[in-house]
Amino acid sequence: MRPLAGSYLPEFFHEDHSLPKPSWSKDMRLLFDQFMKKCEDGSWIHLPSYNYTLFQRSQDISAFIHAYLPTASKLINEEKLLQAKIFTRNFEDGLGFEYVMFYNDVEKRVVCVFEGGPYLQGMPGCLHGGAIATMIDATVGTSAMIAEGIVMTANLNINFKRPVPLCSVVLINSQLDKIEGRKLFISCNVQSVDEKTLYTEATSLFIKLDPEKQV
């Protein structure tokens, strides 16, 4: 199985959704600019973000699933796979998940600047806990993928300490703590832009998938 070359992809797959949009708030734009500045000396890297997976072309997805997830593959409708999109990149601009991630290789950190839009409401005026969990999973998951390639979340432990105001910008800071064999331990917190409010803390365990195993 070879990785998907960009030339196979329809034009819309090439769009990087983590670049500034008119719907972004001032805070979001400001933090984006600050991190882009940090990228200038190479210490941080801006991570592009698309609405498809690496193996989007149907036969690549099928090959991937058969190789890594043979048990699941028996229940998956291959035709529907053609419509598959990344969960967090499916809302109209400004209504759902707006985010951009940056990576620091020396510190093994991924930082996500995240603004949860009005369609992500849970309690009135607050971001839904599932939306926070999703973005934590995406951030620590990105960290795990950068470190070890094809991984899955085995455990995600979240303490919600303060409600996140809807449509506010938060910083999700993740840290790769250790790797033991196939296990990656990554911790994470969610803070307000001024770093005065700690909204959420989380720990996670990712497992590097082993194609020899029948998961």
Ligand X SMILES: CCCCCCCCCCCCCC(=O)SCCNC(=O)CCNC(=O)[C@H](O)C(C)(C)COP(=O)(O)OP(=O)(O)OC[C@H]1O[C@@H](n2cnc3c(N)ncnc32)[C@H](O)[C@@H]1OP(=O)(O)O
Our CB check for ligand X shows the closer of 83 and 214 to be 214
Assigned token pair, 82: 């053609």
Q: Residues 58, 61, 66, 69: is their CA dihedral positive or negative?
A: negative
Chain positions contacting ligand X, by CB under 6 A:
47, 137-138, 141-142, 145-146, 152-155, 181-183, 205, 207, 209-210, 213, 215
Amino acid type, 50: Y
Identify which of 148, 167, 11 has the alpha carbon closest to the alpha carbon of residue 98.
167
Our CB check for ligand X shows the closer of 103 and 126 to be 103
Amino acid type, 72: A
For residue 197, the minimal CB distance to ligand X (Å) is 25
Separation between Cα atoms, residue 185 and residue 204, nearest integer Å? 6
For residue 143, the minimal CB distance to ligand X (Å) is 9
For residue 68, the minimal CB distance to ligand X (Å) is 9
Identify which of 97, 100, 174 has the alpha carbon closest to the alpha carbon of residue 137.
174
Our CB check for ligand X shows the closer of 36 and 152 to be 152
137 tagged catalytic: yes
Catalytic residues: 137
